[in-house]
Amino acid sequence: MDFLLSGLLAVTWQQWLMFLIGGLLIYLAIAKGFEPSLLLPMGFGAILVNIPLSGVLNQTIEGVGNTQGIIQWLFETTISASEALPILLFIGIGAMIDFGPLLSNPKMFLFGGAAQFGIFFTILLAALLGFNLNDAASIGIIGAADGPTSILVSQIMNSQYMGPIAVAAYSYMALVPIVQPFAIKLVTTKKERMIRMEYNPKSVTKLTKLIFPIVVTIIAGLIAPQSVALVGFLMFGNLIRECGVLGSLSETAQTSLANLITLLLGITIAFKMQAGDFINTNTLLIMVLGLVAFVFDTIGGVLFAKIMNLFLKSKVNPMVGAAGISAFPMSARVIQKMGLEEDPTNHLLMHAISANVAGQIGSVVAGGVVINIVSQMLK
Amino acid sequence: MNQNVIYALEIMGKGMLSIFVVIILLTFIVLLLTKVTNLPLFKGKDDAE
């Protein structure tokens, strides 16, 4: 009977805990609807990789020799060796985004920059808490509110905390409707939240929409060359969408490609959720720091809007600044809802969507900038 | 102060500066593009949205 019980007896308490965490992620995905496309594969993957002598990981079996595990192979091939999965996902994301509202209201670009403040604040906090620079930078990028960017940066930075970082990034993206209202109310008054904004979009020509992705890639690439993979693939997807002659490819990028990669990305990332790497106090610390990153992104965007209001004739509702994060379109919806709660006739959705789209650009640029600066420092 | 903390402060300064340089440049380019592409020379009958 020993051969039947050997697996059961080999499970450590850390692996039992990982089964629970996997179950919790699956529960949050199904019952609460928290980023189900990512949290469910990650949760199930967490169970797969923590079964002793799991066949999804490379193993050395006595008398047989080395065996290959599919999740380990996927991780080593598509993330560790090439960062292919997160980068390719950006083609799909780019194809999904309509930059029209932002192009017709370009001052909203500024919020896409301001709301990245949480990234840098969190890097500082992580460094103060004793994380080395690679790990601190990777933890800070949770504030990009962008899962693929977080995964990519932590991989390039060779961080040992990719698993907790991915879990934190996707969990807090799902919790934007809870985190952002709390942070916004901390730094705004009711009067500020009731500010009305007129919506007078400028007309945007097709030529502008076509030139825009090319210009963004060149500008971002010249200033932060490491952002080219991220920004370039995002903008490549957008160019496919806007060119008007690749309808079928655009459709494929938005649906089949994005779905396929999302499906594989979650379960592949689970490779980094093995009990030995995941169960430690730093994981808890990373979850807290991730929350701090989201809160300070929000505060950064709101305070920037308040500073802008010192110079503007027609005031900006500071809540719109908070939509400058990458969590699209959740953040814009939160701002619209909060605006309506304060004044049922105050519609902020189009302004918030413009800022939210700017946040998509801001977050990938921030990812590239962080890689650039940190790699130069570590030379 | 820990060297990493000093580096982190430097990352914050350089990082926010870089992001704003990119964003401000893009803002100006979009404003310019909007103006230029709305000139009769570039603007077709149906291409404005």
Which of B19, B36, B46 to mutate to probe the A interface, most A CBs <10 Å?
A: B19
Percentage above 70 pLDDT, chain A: 100
Residue A23 in this model has a pLDDT that exceeds 90: yes
- What's the pLDDT at A345? 94
Radius of gyration of chain A (CA): 22
CA distance A85 to A202: 37
| Tens-digit pLDDT profile for residues A2-15 | 777 877 888 999 99
Say if the Cβ atoms of A103 and B4 lie within 8 Å: no
Tell me which chain A residue has its CA closest to the CA of residue B39: A205
Q: How far is B31 from chain A (nearest CA, A)?
A: 7
Chain A residues touching B34 at Cβ < 8 A: 103-104, 106, 202-205, 208
Select from A75, A362, A72 the least CA-distant residue to A224: A362
* Min distance A357 CA to chain B CA atoms (Å): 12
Distance from CA of B20 to the nearest CA of A (A): 6
**Stretch A227-233: mean pLDDT:** 91
Q: Do A208 and B33 touch (CB under 8 A)?
A: yes
- Mean pLDDT calculated for residue range A233-259: 96
Amino acid at A319: M
Q: What is the total residue count of chain B?
A: 49
Compute the nearest-CA separation of A49 from chain B (Å): 34
Q: Please tell me the predicted confidence (pLDDT) of residue B43.
A: 65
Q: pLDDT, tens digit, for every residue of A146-158?
A: 888 999 999 999 9
pLDDT of residue B1: 64
The mean pLDDT values, 10 residues at a time, for chain B of 49 residues are 89 95 93 85 58
* Residue A245 CB-density burial (10 A; 0-12 exposed, 13-18 middle, 19+ buried): exposed
Task: Report whether A31 contacts A227 (CB < 8 A).
Answer: no
Q: Residues A263-274: what's their mean pLDDT? A: 92
What local confidence, expressed as pLDDT, does residue A113 receive?
Answer: 95
* Cβ-nearest to A365 among B2, B22, B37: B22
User: Any CB–CB contact under 8 A between A136 and chain B?
Assistant: yes
Radius of gyration of chain B (CA): 20
| Cβ within 8 Å, pair B15-A366 | yes
Put simply, the answer to whether A369 touches B30 (Cβ < 8 Å) is no
Structure tokens at A331: 């953040």
pLDDT at A201: 81
Q: What is the pLDDT of residues A97-147, one digit of tens each?
A: 999 999 998 999 999 999 999 999 999 999 999 999 999 999 999 999 988
Is residue A55 predicted with pLDDT exceeding 70?
yes
Q: State how far the alpha carbon of A31 is from the alpha carbons of A26, A27, A184, in Å.
A: 8, 5, 27
What element of type H or E holds A65? Answer: strand A65-67
Give me the mean pLDDT over the A62-66 stretch. Answer: 83
Of residues B8, B19, B48, nearest to A203 (C-beta) = B48
Cα A101 to the chain's mean position, in Å?
Answer: 21
Q: Which residue bears the tokens 């595990």?
A: A69
A247 touches chain B (CB under 8 A): no
In Å, how far is B41's CA from the nearest CA of chain A? Answer: 12
> Residue A369: how many CA atoms within 13 Å on its side-chain side?
31
Residue A214 has pLDDT above 60, yes or no: yes
Query: Under an 8 A CB cutoff, do B26 and A128 touch?
Result: no
Here the contacts of A73-81 (C-beta below 8 Å, separation 24 or greater) are A74/A264, A74/A267, A74/A268, A74/A271, A75/A268, A75/A269, A75/A271, A75/A272, A78/A264, A78/A268, A79/A151, A79/A155, A79/A268, A79/A269, A80/A155
Query: Quick check: A123 and B49 CB within 8 A?
Result: no
Measure the CA–CA gap between A320 and A354, rounded to whole angstroms.
9
Least confident interval from A15-24, A35-44, A132-141, A181-190: A35-44
Minimum-distance CB partner of A370 among B4, B11, B38: B11
pLDDT of amino acid A194: 96
| Average pLDDT value over all residues in chain A | 92
pLDDT in tens, A297-310: 999 999 999 999 99
**Helix H segments across A224-323?**
228-243, 247-252, 258-269, 275-278, 281-309, 318-322
Instruction: Say if the Cβ atoms of B48 and A205 lie within 8 Å.
Output: yes
**From A129, which residue of chain B is nearest by alpha-carbon distance?**
B5
The answer to whether residue A85 neighbours chain B at the CB level (below 8 Å) is no
User: Can you say how many angstroms the Cα of residue A290 is from the centroid of all Cα atoms in its chain?
Assistant: 11
Chain B neighbours among A 207-246 (CB < 8 Å)? 207-208, 211-212, 215-216, 219-220, 223-224
Let me know: does A214 contact A75? Beta carbons within 8 Å: no
Distances (CA, A) of A134 to A157, A167, A251, A274, B6: 5, 18, 37, 21, 14
Q: How far apart are CA A154 and CA A77, in angstroms?
A: 16
CA distance B7 to chain A (A): 8
State residue A95's pLDDT score: 96
| Distance between CA atoms of residues A224 and A135, nearest Å | 20
Higher local confidence (pLDDT), A348 or A8: A348
Cα separation, A99 vs A101, in Å, equals: 6
Across the interface, whether the CB atoms of A113 and B16 are under 8 A apart is answered yes
Q: Taking residues A349-371, what's their average pLDDT?
A: 94
> CA nearest B21 in A: which residue?
A223
What pLDDT sits at residue A287? 93
Give CA–CA dist A12/A223, Å, rounded.
48
Q: Cα distance from A196 to chain B (closest Cα, Å)?
A: 23
